[in-house]
A and B are shown apart, each in its own frame.
Chain A
Amino acid sequence: MTRSGAGNRFRTRKLSTKQSLAVLRENQIDSVDDDAQRNIPQIETGVERGEEIEHHLQAAISASQAAAVGAKVTQIFIPTPNTTEITVTNYETLYPKRFSQPASYIRFSSTVEDCGGTGYCMSAEDEKFFEKMNATKRPGGQQCRAEEFERIMDLFESIALEKQPYMSIDMSTVMPYDEMAAHFGDALSGELVKIAAVVYSHWKEQRVARGGNPIIPILKFEQGQDKDDGDPYVCFRRREVRQVRKTRRTDAQSTEKLKKLRQEFDSARNLVKDVLARERMRKSIFQIEYGIFESRRQIIGVKRKSGIRGDDEDLVNYKPKKRPVDQSAPSTIRISTRHDGKPPETELLQLVAVKAEKEKQRLDKFHALKSSRRVPKHGFVDLTDKVLSDSTAVPKGPDANFCGVQTYYLPSPPPSCEGNGTGLFDLLEEPSDLAPIPVLQVSSKSPPSRDVPAFRRRRGRGGRIIVDRRGHGILRDNDLDDIILDRMKHSEEDEDYSPVFMRSLNSDSHIQYRARMLSPPPDPPVNPTQHTRRPVVPSPGGMQPGTPAAFLTAAATQQAMGFGGYKLSQHPVQQQSQQQQPNTSILTLANRPPVHAQVQR
C-alpha cells in the first residue's frame, strides 16, 4: 500500500511539527484530490519485520485501516492460547482473606525475603520424613515443628551453597555432618542441633538425589564461562561496567590540554602584537623627531636669512624631567644574576638579623640604665634590687609628667570646603582668614610652671589612663552661668563611668565623632535654659558631648592616640565662655580640677 503518484505530487512540502494545522471535518474538504488520499501510507509499525507479516496482525491492521477509511468491518482479535481457566478450588485455603486496605496509599519497602519466612519449603517427601521422625521421637524429646524442620534444611542448604558450591561436580565429598555442624554458629538452639543431626541424613539423601545441586532449583546465573552467553537459561547478568566515565575523563583531559594550548598561543600572539605596536610607535617617534629636526633646520635657515635673534630654546630639546615613578617601576622585573657568585638574597635584610639588632639595642639600653643606676640619685640610696627604670631621666615630684600647653595664634588655614557650614573650619570664616585662633599644643617634656595650663597623663589601676590637668582654675564660680553649673552637677557621675572606647580609634565613626566634637553646633541655641544642643550622635557610654568631662574624654582620646599636636578648634561650649573671657584657653571651663577622663584600655 504505497502512496499513489498523485499524492506524491501534492505532498511536496514537508510537514513541520510547529506548523499550524486547521482541524476540519470531511465535508469541509474539497473531495477532488481526496481519491488520491484514500490510500493510507505504509507506516512503520515498530513490530519486528519477521512478525509484521504475521497473518493475524495483518488482518487486524488492515481491518483497522479499512475502518479508518470508512469500511464496515468487525473487530478482529489476535488469537491467544487458551489461557485462563478458573479451576483452582483450594484458593480460599491458600490465600486467606486478610487484606484490609489502609486509608492512605500503601508505603512499603520490605523485600520478598523479609516477607517469605524461611526460604526452604517442605516438599511431599520432606513431609513424609518429617512425620516419620516425629513419630519415632523418644517420648521425652520435644516434637519438631515444621517451621523448625524448614529452618534446619535451609541452614544445610545455605552452608552447602557457601562452603561447597561445586558439590554437583564432585559428588563424593558431600560435607559430613560434623563439618556441617561446625558452621552452625548460633543459628540453632541446643534442642534443634539434636534434631539437625537426624535431619542431616535426609538432607544428604535429597541433595544426592538432585545430583549435588540445591534441593530447590535455583536460577542459572552467569558463571563467567563462555558458554553462558548462549545459554538461554542464564539470566539476569550483571551488565558490564560502562566505560563512559573513563572516556569522559580522558576527554576532559584533552579538552583541558587544548584549552591551555590555545591560551598559550593567544598570549604569544598578544605579545607579538604588542611588540609590533611598540615598534610602530617607535618608528612614528623617529619620523616625528625627524620632522622636528627638519622644521628646525628650516627655521634656522629662515632665522639666519632674516636675522632674527633669540628664541633659540625652541631649537633645542629639553630633556623632560624623569618622573620618579618611572624609575621605581621598571617595565620588566628581572631577577638579577650576580657575578660574584653569591646568591641573590645575600643583600636582603634577614628577619633574623633585624631581630638580633633589636635585641642588641635593648641590651645596650639595659646596660646603660644599669650603670646609671649606680650613681646615687639626689641623696637617695636605691636599696631595691634590680630596679631598672631610669628615674634620673624624669624629674621627680608632683610636677613630673605634666606637659605644658602653650597657646599660639596661627593663621587659620583656608576652609576645606566652601560655604556649606558643616566643615571643620566654618566657624572661623566669619572674623577673617587671618584671625588668630587658639591652638592647643603639647610642649616639651620639661615640666611647665604652675601658671601654664598643663596636662599629665598617667596610668591608673587596671591600665586606666587618667588625664590630670592643672592651671585652669581661673574661672570663679560667679562667672559661670546657670547652664554650666547645671551641667557640672552631673559631672561627678562621670567618674563612675568607664566609657568603653573601641580599640580602633581611626575608624570612620571615631573620626566623625571627633570632628563633630570640634565642629560648631548645628543650630544656635534658641533658648539657653532649654539646653537645646543635642548630640547628633550619642557619645560612647551615653556621655553628653556638651559636658566638660566628655570634652576631656575627647582630648584624652587624642592624647592616648599620640595626637600631641592636634589642633583643637573651639568647642561650642567654649564659644560661649570665650565671649566672657577671650583669652582663656579652651579648657578653662572646668571649675573643679582635676577632672578625670578615663580610657579603658
Chain B
Amino acid sequence: MPTRDTSTEAGTPDVQTGEKSIATIATLRVGVKLHVYHENSKEYRLAEILSIQTRKGTPHYYVHYEEFNKRLDEWVPPARLDLTKETVGDVGTPEDEEVDEESAEIDPKAAAARAASAKQSGASGTPETFSKEHEIEKLRTSGSMTQSAHEISRVRNLSKLQIGKYEVEPWYFSPYPVEYTEEEMVFICEFCLSYFGEEKRFQHHRTKCTLLHPPGNEIYRDSAISFFEIDGRRQRTWCRNLCLLSKCFLDHKTLYYDVDPFLFYIMATRDEYGCHMIGYFSKEKESAEGYNVACILTLPQYQRHGYGKLLIAFSYELSKREGKLGSPEKPLSDLGLLGYRAYWQDTIVDLLLNNKGLETTIDELASMSAMTTQDVIHTLQNLNMLRYFKGQHVICLTDAILSQKQKQVEKQKIKGKRTLDPELIQWKPPVFTAANRTWNW
C-alpha cells in the first residue's frame, strides 16, 4: 500500500498560516489537527479531532484522518496521539509534508476543491468560532446534506448494530433516535428492520414479529437470491427503517425527506429462517434526471462477495424492461464508483466480444446495456479503448483488457460467477399517478 503521509496544501498560496504549537492533552480542542497513530496502516497520520468524550475519567478523541474516508474515523485514546509534533490550532495549514508527485498531477479543480475543504475544516475549528457564515460556506461548497453544518452528523453516533447473525460497526451518522447513541448495541430485527436499544425489548419483539421476508412482491428468484419490490408509500415504516439502517453505511444518503417517492428493490438470500436482506437499491418512481438508482448498498456483512455487481446488474435489467437508459444518482461514493466501473467495464467488454459485426456505435452499446451514452463513453475512455486511428474514432479491445478478461474468466471458473437470469424477472414497470409519486399524507 502506497504511503502518503498527508495532504498537499503546502504551496497553495491562499491558505492562511495558522497557529502552530505543541499541545498538551489539556489544550486539545475540537478542530485541532494532529498526528494520530492509525493501526491498520501502522503509521501516524494527520487527523482532525471532531469530538471529545470522557470515558471513565480519560478523554477519548474522535478523529478524522485526512485523505481517508470518513468511515475510518474512530475514537482513539490519548495514547494514540502524537503530541511531540506540532499541532495545528484554529486556522492553518498542515506542515512538515512532502509534496508527492502523483497528487500534484491532479487537475487544478480538484486542488482548488481541496484547498477549499482545507479552509473549511480549518475554519470549522473550535466550537467557539462556529458561525453562520461558516455554515453557509460549508453548505455552499459541499452539496451533501450529510456533510451539513452540523458537527454532530460528522461523528458516527451508534456504536454497534446487531442484524440477524451479525454484529456490524456502522460507518456513518444515522438519525436513529438520539437515545440509542448511548447504547452499546442497537438491535435490529432482521426482517422488519425495527430497532431496539434494549435487548429484552428486542427479544419480546422477536416473539411477535411474523415477517419473514421484505414486505413486498417477489419479482425475481433464482437458485441463490430473490428480489423484492417495495413501494415507499405503502411500506413507509419498513422503508424508513431500511433508510435509517442504510444511512449507517452511506455517507451521501439523505434522510431529510420521506420515503414516499421511492421504490425499493431488496436483494435477499433464502434459507429456512427467512429471506435475509443482502442489499438493496432505491429508485425514484419518476426521475427527472433519468437516474435508475438513487441509493445502492450491499450490507457490510455481505460485501466483497460479488453481490454489488448483481444489484447493479438488476438495476440495469429493470431499465431495459422500461426501455430507458439509466445511470446512478450522483455523487457516488468511493465504493460505489469502483463497483460501477467494474460493472461497466464487464458489460462493455462482453458486448464488444460478443459483437458479431466488426462495427458498432455508442448508441448501440448504450441501448444493449441500458447504460447512458455518457457512461459508455466514459467507460471506453477510462479503459483506454477509444482510439483515433486513420482519421477516425475506433474502439480498441486492448491486450490489457483482454488479458484482464481472461484472468477474470479463469477466476470465475474456480469461484463460480454470480449472474442474473433476466428471464426470471416477473416485473412490469409500475405506473403511478401524480399523487402516488409525490407525498400523500
Contacts and interface: CB of A to CB of B under 8 A. Distances in A.
A495 to B, nearest CB: 69
Nearest to A81: B169
Given A55-B4, A87-B167, A68 B359 contact: no
Contacts of B431: none
Contacts of A323: none
A59 interface: yes
A30 B389 contact: yes
Interface centre among A1, A97, A126, A236 (most CB of B within 10 A): A236
B400 A68 contact: yes
Interface stretch (A21-29, A312-320, A373-381, A506-514): A21-29
Interface in B56-71: 67-69, 71
A67 B404 contact: yes
A71 B328 CA distance: 29
Contact of A233 (B117, B147, B178, B398): B178
Given A18-B361, A88-B167, A111 B334 contact: no
Nearest to B333: A47
A239 B210 CA distance: 32
B64 to A, nearest CB: 11
Contact of B68 (A13, A54, A108): A54
Given A18-B361, A33-B388, A79-B40, A24 B166 contact: no
B401 A68 contact: yes
Contacts of A47: 331-334, 336-337
A44 B358 CA distance: 29
B22 interface: no
B368 interface: no
Interface in A223-279: 230-239, 241-242
Contact of A62 (B102, B226, B259): B102
A116 interface: yes
Interface stretch (A181-189, A213-221, A421-429, A563-571): A213-221
A123 B204 CA distance: 8
Interface centre among A28, A38, A232 (most CB of B within 10 A): A232
B179 interface: yes
B258 A20 contact: no
B362 A21 contact: yes
A118 B362 CA distance: 56
Interface string B192-204: 1110111011111
Contacts of B200: 121-124, 126-127
B142 A232 contact: no
Contacts of B221: 105
A233 B261 CA distance: 21
A1 B105 contact: yes
A43 interface: yes
B211 A10 contact: no
Contact of A237 (B166, B241, B256, B328): B256
Interface centre among A18, A40, A99 (most CB of B within 10 A): A99
Interface in B319-361: 328, 330-338, 341, 352, 355, 358-361
B107 interface: yes
Chain B interface SS verdict (over half): mixed
Contact of A83 (B241, B301, B439): B301
B126 interface: no
Contacts, number: 364
Contacts of A97: 272-273
A548 B270 CA distance: 92
A59 to B, nearest CB: 6
Interface in B400-415: 400-404
A24 B395 contact: yes
B190 interface: yes
B382 interface: yes
Interface string A520-539: 00000000000000000000
A37 B384 contact: yes
Contacts of A42: 107
Given A21-B359, A80-B300, A216 B201 contact: yes
Interface in B101-125: 102-103, 105-107, 109-110, 113-114, 117
A230 B138 CA distance: 13
Interface of B: 1-2, 4, 7, 40, 67-69, 71-72, 74, 102-103, 105-107, 109-110, 113-114, 117, 135, 142-144, 147-150, 152-153, 162, 164-169, 171, 173, 175-180, 190, 192-194, 196-198, 200-206, 208-213, 215-219, 221, 226, 228, 234-238, 240-241, 243-244, 251-252, 255-259, 261, 270-275, 300-301, 303-304, 328, 330-338, 341, 352, 355, 358-363, 366, 373, 377-378, 381-384, 386-390, 392-404, 426, 438-439, 441
